[in-house]
Structure 1
Amino acid sequence: MTFHPDTLPDLKGKVFIVTGGNSGIGYFTVTHLAEHGAHVYMCARSIEKGVAAIASIKKMYPLANIDLLQMDLMDLTSVVAVAKHFLSSKLPYTAWHEAQWQTNYLTHWVLTEHLLPMMLRTAKTLPPGSVRIANLTSAGYLSAPNGGINFPDLSLKDAGPMARYGQSKLVNKYGPGSASARNGEGEIWLSCVHPGMVETNLVTAVGDEASDIKPVLPVFRLFGMIMSADKGSYTSLFLVASQDMKPEQSGTYCEIHKRLVEPRWQCSAAKDANLAERLEAWTKEEMKSEGWI
């Protein structure tokens, strides 16, 4: 491990938006950014939990500059409202899409699409690397269905939870490249992160959907293969805030603790540029037709 949050620079004047910021990896990402002087917007579904998380951070760092944005990843209406609120400096399973597809992919695509013009304008006025996006993916994308994305049945009704999870994480791996393709001016650094096996509340949150992985978790814990949520945040922190990140590292797939590599297993769908372009076209058309952009 060659990176630690203590090496982050002074982040005063920098602004960050962290989704899922009230618990797990997101909570520690907010904590370390705020510790170094950043202005952080914590997105949380529950106002009560968000307020409690901010209070907890401020016990450690009383001068932490954190604002709460209420955003439910299962409700695209709230995502659009948060983006508009942020831009104006004011602000369950849906009937639209399968839960993991929406929570892991569509929500973040819509949020990025709304914020991208502002980010591009900002990038034009600042040195390269001042504006960054990091998408959380997972090596679990290897459990995606054959062909990577099942466009005729994106909800994967007849598949198990791991296939749905894998598909949603595979498309997260495309996310940075898709945003980069839209980047005609300014310079935004884009990356996708596999944080490793992290002890978070994900399994509890998804309930029976996690039945495929619950039995093996005790074994992983026994052999020390699951890290804390704090350490799980290090890779994201490096990619969004470290002064040691290099321009050539933008657009890469980042594994645990700054190790920037191609996927360790060969997965043709993960490198399929045509599939990524088809996904981008589908997403833009779908989100337009539903009125989210």
Structure 2
Amino acid sequence: MATTKPSPVAPFQTTWWQWIEYYYLLMLHGGFPFFWWIRPHWKPSQMGDKRGTVVFITGGNSGTGYETAREYYLHGATVYIGCRSDQRATDAIARIKKGGRCNMYGEFEYETPNAAKVGTIEYINMDLSDLDSVERCANELKGKVQRLDMLFANAGIMATDPGQFTKQGYPLQFGTNTLGHQRLISLLLPLLKQTSRETPDSPARLISLSSVGHVFAPRGGINYEAIESRTELDKWAAYGESKWGDIALANFVNTHHGPGSPNAIDGEIITFSVHPGVVATNLSRHLGGVEAMYKLTWLTPLYQLQPYDGALNQIWCGEVSVAEARRMSGSFISCFQTQCPARPDLKNKVAVDRMWEWCDAQARKTE
């Protein structure tokens, strides 16, 4: 039977300046609206014509994923969204085509798109908590496109109650946020590399949605013993573990396939990991205490961002100039459009490689 351990806040700070560095990261650039002077300095209106650009977004049916899909569709891209519910995906696409933008209360406001500029959008059924479903999705996408310009590993869950596991028996948060995305990324690497071979002056990009909450991961990032024994961590430690993993995914791809890496010769991939800010989405709306606060609508803008603002960091990572993107590849981007430090142990190549290889080994068990 699964058990729950108390939350182990990782003892990763080793010097006084690292405490200051993390205070700076977690507070000033955590995306809290009450720091009113820290605001986005880039808007999607600066995007160019994206016709010919192929984009895949996990969780593109809601929250930051929906707003990302919406902007790329409005700017002419070929957009695919991954979603586990056919109905939710169909509804989201219908709203996107009508120009719907979601506010922080879950309500949609519409502005008719310019029909001459829009692209195409469709969905592929995918459940990140099921490795078989992830593989089917990747194979379906490969049957539709020959290249992939941008992969937004956006979907995720947060602070789920103990006792929930993926189809293959992994703790739900790590299995969905990290393991499912690792499988998807590994299967889509050939499409990303194909883009970079065809257009070396505009390499493919991988943007992995993480969180400043990755600092609550266990020592070393991933507690493999707990995962393999089905011993559950506290739900916030488990969330931090999965978000540590999301940064590690981007770091691994950058180290092995990014600018200047040995494998870049057959197609480099620019990577970013991103903190979106404190965003009003269905990810947090039903957490204990937060749901009640939503009833006090006048309070919401004081502590949460619009989903649109929350999507700006990852869209910016897709649109920042190639020269800047190459320079920053592998960076953790916090609010807003700002390079910030991630936990020091994410610089440990051995730990990052171990996580990728461990995830690969789990996928082989399903073959």
Task: Tell me if both proteins adopt one fold, taking TM over 0.5 as the criterion.
Answer: yes
Whole-angstrom distance in 2 between the partners of 1:82 and 1:98: 22
Mean CA deviation greater in 96-105 or 23-32: 96-105
Please state if 1:249 is matched with 2:323: no
Establish whether residue 260 from structure 1 lines up as the match of residue 339 from structure 2: yes
Secondary structure in 1 aligned to 2:267? coil
* Cα offset, 1:59, TM superposition: 1.2
4+ runs deviating over 4 angstroms: 210-218
For residues 223 and 65 of structure 1, what CA distance do their matches in structure 2 show? 33
| 1:112-137 CA-partner distances (Å, limit 9, x unpaired) | 11110122122112034431110001
1:72 aligned partner, one-letter code: D
Tell whether 2:207 aligns with 1:134. Answer: yes
Residue number in structure 2 paired with 1:186: 267
Aligned to 1:234: 312
After superposition, the C-alpha distances for 1:132-165 in whole angstroms (9 at most, x for unaligned) are 1100010001111233211111277342110100
The 1:158/1:121 distance shift into structure 2, 3 A limit, reads: closer
For residue 7 of structure 1, the aligned residue among 3, 27, 46 is: 46
* Structure 1 unaligned regions, length at least 5: none
Structure with higher helix content: 1
Structure 1 residues 269 and 215: alpha-carbon distance in aligned structure 2, compared to 1, 3 A threshold: farther
Q: Is the 8 A contact 1:40 1:65 kept in 2?
A: yes
SS of structure 1 residue aligned to 2:341: coil
How far residue 43 of structure 1 moved from its aligned partner, in angstroms, is 1.1
- Please give the alpha-carbon distance, in whole angstroms, between the structure 2 residues aligned to 1:255 and 1:18: 19
Identical aligned residues as a percent = 28
Q: Which has the larger radius of gyration?
A: 2
The answer to whether residue 354 in structure 2 is matched with residue 278 in structure 1 is: yes
Aligned residues: 283
Higher RCO (Cα < 8 Å, 6 or more apart):
2
Task: Please give the alpha-carbon distance, in whole angstroms, between the structure 1 residues aligned to 2:207 and 2:50.
Answer: 17
- Compute the displacement of 1:14 (Å): 0.2
- 1:177 aligned counterpart, secondary structure: helix
User: Which string of whole-angstrom CA distances, capped at 9 and with x for unpartnered residues, describes residues 247-291 of structure 1?
Assistant: 20111111112112223xxx3323322211221221222222332
Q: Choose the corresponding residue for 1:172, options 246, 249, 261.
A: 246
Note if contact 1:129-1:247 (Cα within 8 Å) is conserved in structure 2. no
- Could you say what secondary structure the match of 1:257 adopts? coil
How many Å separate the matches in 1 of 2:166 and 2:91? 25
> 3-state SS of the aligned residue for 1:106?
helix
Partner AA of 2:305 in structure 1: M
Gaps of 5+ in 2: 1-39, 100-112, 146-164, 258-262
1:288 aligns with 2:343: no
Tell me the distance in 2 between the aligned counterparts of 1:93 and 1:137.
20
Q: 2:178 aligns with which of 80, 93, 105?
A: 105
Check whether the contact 1:12–1:37 (CA below 8 A) recurs between aligned residues.
yes
